[in-house]
A and B are shown apart, each in its own frame.
Chain A
């Protein structure tokens, strides 16, 4: 079993829909990262969080440390949100991130 599991692997939705991507992990972490990778490969860090909830524009990330679970939400989704969203966890006492396999999101106009 992977230390970081994401679901779903693929998600297609209509423009305007509310999107949720889930991430579960099985190890102790110092922080959880949500990353966005567009076609062409560039990766952008969306959030880094260790507790609670963060919001940036239409994006919201939450984490439940006790349940070892995080969600990334996108409100009022738009075709430009189409990308691969990657969850990664930073382990306690070391800095190497462990990555989920990503969720490929496609928003249809």
Chain B
């Protein structure tokens, strides 16, 4: 089937607005990751979900960022009161189980004006 699907592919928002980014992992994949890639920068870990375990939120840059994963499948990354420094490509990846190869989505390019 399909790979990891992210939506929207592009999002332009005004500073101060909230945004929601969606990730549909590959069916059956228990592990789901969110990463961020700022312009000219490397990839940065944000949050990791594994099955029903508590997520590893240690990469979230501030309390304006939150994520959830409903029913062990779809995940939503929410950024409240967006700032210009939040502009980046937000990438989601999933893997079958912990420690197996990652499959990346095409990302959501977020621009905060």
Interface of B is mostly: strand
**Cα distance A33–B48 in the bound complex, in angstroms:** 17
A interface residues, how many (CB within 8 angstroms): 22
B50 contacts chain A at the CB level, 8 A cutoff: yes
Contact A96–B106 (Cβ < 8 Å): no
B104 contacts chain A at the CB level, 8 A cutoff: yes
Given contact pairs A95-B48, A96-B48, A97-B45, A43 touches B104 in the complex (Cβ within 8 A): yes
Most buried by B among A33, A96, A98: A96
Number of A-B contacts (CB under 8 A): 56
B106 / chain A contacts, CB cutoff of 8 Å: 41-42
Interface of A is mostly: strand
Contact B43–A88 (Cβ < 8 Å): yes
Q: Which residues of B contact A (CB under 8 A)?
A: 31, 33, 35, 37, 41-45, 48, 50, 56, 58-59, 89, 91, 93, 98-104, 106-107, 109
Q: Which residues of A contact B (CB under 8 A)?
A: 30-31, 33, 35, 41-45, 48, 86, 88, 90, 94-102
